[in-house]
Structure 1
Amino acid sequence: MFSADIDRWREEFPALGFTDDGERLHGPVRWTEPAIPDQPPTAYTARVEIMPGATFPFAPPKVRLLDSGGPLEITFHINADNTLCLWEDDWSVDDAPWLDPRKLLDRIAGWLQKTAAGWPGDDSCDLERYLDQEGDDPRMVLYDATRLVPDQAVQTEGGPEIICIADRVRRTGNIVNGRRRNRKERRLAWVADIGTVVRPIRSWNDLATSLSSHAAEVGRLIRMHVITVILLRYTRGGAEAALALRVRHDGTGIRISACESADTSTSTRTMRAGSARTALTDVPIAIVGCGAIGSFTAELLFRSGTRVLTLIDPELLRPGNVIRHLADLRHIGWPKPHAVLDCLSAIDPQVAAVTVIRDRLTTLAKATSLVLGNRIVVDATGSGQASSLLAAAATRLDAGAEHTVVSVCAQRDGHVLRVDRMPPRPGESYLPPLPALEHTTRLRERGCGDPISPTSPGAVVAAAELALRVVIDEVTAERTLPATVADVRKPQDQPPFDVLGCVTSDHSQGAVQ
């Protein structure tokens, strides 16, 4: 929207009773008080100020309430600068409802009516917006919601970026007459559960009211610079939330400001893992080959919920591996399974059930034992010998849904990504093999005997994601994917790999559902 479009937008307001001084629009908004049984609804006319600022029209104009026109207690959905928060979600500028002046005024009227009603059913838990942000100390406050004890002062641990609220209770009763008997009796956090929030906390007085009988003690410790953080647990609209506050006494009173906070509990750290997380958690999965594809397959499985994981590879990580590997330069010289484990522990330290084995799969007995010991074995070796051993073990056992081998590879320099699931189910077949091409020139690394594939890092990650989908399909028993799924990223000279996109052994083409 250019300036001429904004001008046309402004020109619609005079017909709605607004005046325009070239910067701000002033005018009426009619709204109705929520209905009361046996009484007719009362209509009011509010006056508002509308300011299309620098972010308009890509964001709503700023709207301030000048006069509500009737009795109204302002509580939620108002910003720290006293502008109304009218839309919580993002809109494309082409569809933005605030570009229609009548829709904008209807939204303001709805805001007034919901405010008068106390925002019934609203579960917005963003109480930080009603407070100043802690500009001089931007550290994030971390806590484990499952270990917090309310109405207690606990120790904090901090660094340059975070403040961690520990679960070690500090007995503040030994702080008397303004003296701290212990050097650790400083920079404590007070934890409180204030129940259902009916209005925002904007000042120390609001906070003291929420702290109830503990307010005097907490205030005393704040003035002594003992308590510097307060963590409030609360509910709103049935949703549980927390608000972290930095508190300090500056001689005139207690000042509070909001900090960004985050829960470190397992449930919070895994809620983005996807719907298969629960199904994957206790399923034993082995990955043979922790090179490029295997390392990212391990990461995706771990992020998706897998915790009983065995990583197998005989090789050390080389500098040249890093460009396509999950691990980085810190892990040069490490056995690849150990390097992958270290990367997983940086995602979630709960890696006690991850086993690392520096070994090469060389016999059918080893392959059979591995398949029998795991629900899924992912073959990411790119080795004809290892893949043949695992395929033979899967076929020999023919254990159906009890033990499955998922073989993943990148072929033709990463232009075809392929995943085969073994053994096949009754009536299933596989896509034909895609012969390797003879290269006139081969990439070679000094000190490394094997040729280097020019497969791109993007193809490696895409192959790992394809393997993940097949594993999840098997573990969740959805079984919507056939025995072979291939992603043709560049058409080849052999059907059915001559068409761009996904091809499967059930003869379907296009996107895999």
Structure 2
Amino acid sequence: MTSDDVLEYVAYCRQHFEEGLIRAGFSEGEAGWEGPVPHAAGPTRVVIGLPARFPFRPPTVTPVDHVAVPWSWHRDPDGGLCLVAEDDHDGLWWTEAPAFLEHVTAWFERADTGWTDDRPDLDLDRYFQPSMDQRLYLYDDLAQYLDRPIRFSPSGNNTMRIRHGTRPGKTLKHSKNRFGYVADLGEVDVPPRTWADISSRIDSHADLDRRIRQRTVAIVVLTYRRGHHPGAIVLDVAPKKDGGTAVTRLRSAADTEAARSARAGVLAPELRGCRVAVVGVGALGSFIADLLVRSGARHLTLIDDDVVMPGNLVRHLVGPDAVGLPKVEAVKQYIVRNHEAPAAGIGTVNRALTTGSDAVDHLRNHDLVVNATADFATTALLHVSARSLGTHVLSVALQNDGRTYRIDVLPPLNDAAPLPPSTARADTAAPPLFEAGCGSPISPTPPYAVLEAAAATVRHAIGLLVDRPLHPAGETRHFHSSTEGDQQ
């Protein structure tokens, strides 16, 4: 599609939509297309505007009489109707005027009934203009600061971190700290938009207003709730010459375990108590360990006897600062440093797994053992040990220069048949490379193949840990190389 085709498509969509509005009784005026929207409580006249990015952005709808429509979380700061959520932008469905007007009618029908069973939108930030201060304000558990003075202190990467503070006796214009106060709005059914809306809901508003006028409070952190869902907003406040209070929103975020784990997946709580051993923390095992922790696991044992070499880094989790460290220690340090996982929950064994007694101990003391060594002897040892104990091990290997990954549940669950043997593929790569101190050629497995295999392995590991296995025997997948054609 050329640029002319795009312009023609945009012009057609606009004309087609406007014709639909005309048929529905709308007429064009200076502010946009004005007309009635029928609903149970009686028709409401609105103005529909087409933004410059229409049809790639939905039309806007604003009541002609702003006061006649109750304020709610479903109105934009300018009074327009909040009609299309960010997760409802598929298909450009709003380009058809009848469908769009039906959607507007449904909005008024729900407004007439008080938005029963409403989704708990917590985006109070959008009702305030952004502050000129572009720093990121980070806070932890706000309950400990409630109804108390606080300060935000400079930290790394242009951030400000919350601290317990004392009430300053006078204006601190030249301080690097910014002083403030934490207050609770309680249950918020209608979002506040001004400082007057806010202060009327705070018990200590008179004292807080006075301290803002004295410039001893420059930041107000507000906690609030919608149903069972808590929210927070950080505001920049300053007295105005006319006696009011100017309020803008600061860029802020919770720096808490709850905030970090919220995106770990719905199974994260179930994984917190699981104990997993990862045997072999080279390229594949290091990313498996990392993904397990990101997914919620907090108790790992890392087993390997090797050290980090410079040549490992392109495919390994750790970076140049880890060269020379035992791989188990390097991976543990990375995970603890980057994910704030408790160091006490990650054990390390800086030796190879070679004896049956060690294999049995690990199988007994962990909910799952993941074998990422790609070593036949270790795989066989763990398989025999697991079978004798009536348990299972998950074994993963990359084959065919990374074009194949194989994940085996050993022995398979419920006496299922094992995966068939993998087929070796013809090598179409360049001649093998060798380096000093290594009798085998350097594997040309690309980094993305390691990540693909690690992600698939963690899917299977989580399935086994929560007793919802993906497959009783595992999975084998082969990807064609760029010279072989499409994925199989």
Q: 1:160-213: CA deviations, max 9, x gaps?
A: 5333223x3x343xx45x477xx989523322222111322211111111212x
Native 8 Å contact 1:157 1:163 kept in 2: yes
> Which secondary structure does the structure 2 equivalent of 1:210 belong to?
coil
1:190-339 correspondence runs (5 A):
190-212=181-203, 214-252=204-242, 253-339=244-330
> Which secondary structure does the structure 2 equivalent of 1:361 belong to?
coil
Q: 1:280-322: CA deviations, max 9, x gaps?
A: 2122211111111101111111111111101122222233322
**CA 481–229 in structure 1, closer or farther in 2 if over 3 Å, else same:** same
Report how far residue 23 of structure 1 moved. 8.0
**Matched residue type, 2:212:** I
Which segments of 5 or more consecutive residues in structure 2 lack a partner in the other structure? Answer: 1-8
**CA 359–60 in structure 1, closer or farther in 2 if over 3 Å, else same:** same
Between 1:226-235 and 1:411-420, the stretch displaced more is 226-235
> Which secondary structure does the structure 1 equivalent of 2:253 belong to?
strand
**CA 100–424 in structure 1, closer or farther in 2 if over 3 Å, else same:** closer
> Which secondary structure does the structure 2 equivalent of 1:2 belong to?
helix
Native 8 Å contact 2:354 2:378 kept in 1: yes
Structure 2 equivalent of residue 356 of structure 1: 348
Report how far residue 369 of structure 1 moved. 3.1
Say yes or no: does 1:74 pair with 2:74.
no
**CA 386–119 in structure 1, closer or farther in 2 if over 3 Å, else same:** same
Structure 2 equivalent of residue 57 of structure 1: 55
Say yes or no: does 1:414 pair with 2:402.
yes
Name the CA distance, whole Å, in 1 between partners of 2:425 and 2:83: 60
**CA 421–105 in structure 1, closer or farther in 2 if over 3 Å, else same:** closer
Name the CA distance, whole Å, in 2 between partners of 1:11 and 1:80: 29
Between 1:300-309 and 1:463-472, the stretch displaced more is 463-472
Question: 1:10 is matched with which residue: 10, 14, 18?
Answer: 18
Structure 2 equivalent of residue 155 of structure 1: 151
Q: 1:114-171: CA deviations, max 9, x gaps?
A: 445543433222111111122x2223332223753421112323335333223x3x34
Say yes or no: does 1:125 pair with 2:122.
yes
**Matched residue type, 2:18:** R
Native 8 Å contact 1:73 1:116 kept in 2: no
TM-score for both structures, normalised by structure 2: 0.86
Question: 1:454 is matched with which residue: 426, 434, 444?
Answer: 444
Native 8 Å contact 2:77 2:193 kept in 1: no
Report how far residue 261 of structure 1 moved. 3.0
Between 1:335-344 and 1:455-464, the stretch displaced more is 335-344
Report how far residue 111 of structure 1 moved. 3.5
**CA 427–120 in structure 1, closer or farther in 2 if over 3 Å, else same:** closer
Structure 2 equivalent of residue 372 of structure 1: 364
**Matched residue type, 2:300:** L
Name the CA distance, whole Å, in 2 between partners of 1:221 and 1:332: 54
**CA 227–332 in structure 1, closer or farther in 2 if over 3 Å, else same:** farther
**CA 223–362 in structure 1, closer or farther in 2 if over 3 Å, else same:** same
Native 8 Å contact 2:20 2:96 kept in 1: no
Say yes or no: does 1:88 pair with 2:85.
yes
Report how far residue 355 of structure 1 moved. 1.5
Identical pairs, percent? 31
Name the CA distance, whole Å, in 2 between partners of 1:24 and 1:60: 14
**Matched residue type, 2:335:** L
Report how far residue 418 of structure 1 moved. 0.9
Structure 1 equivalent of residue 478 of structure 2: 488
Question: 1:405 is matched with which residue: 389, 393, 417?
Answer: 393
1:409-448 correspondence runs (5 A):
409-425=397-413, 427-434=415-422, 441-446=431-436, 448=438
Name the CA distance, whole Å, in 1 between partners of 2:412 and 2:121: 50
**CA 52–424 in structure 1, closer or farther in 2 if over 3 Å, else same:** closer
> Which secondary structure does the structure 1 equivalent of 2:189 belong to?
coil
Which segments of 5 or more consecutive residues in structure 1 lack a partner in the other structure? Answer: 34-42, 492-498, 502-513
Report how far residue 243 of structure 1 moved. 2.0
**CA 103–145 in structure 1, closer or farther in 2 if over 3 Å, else same:** farther
Report how far residue 424 of structure 1 moved. 4.1
Number of matched pairs: 469
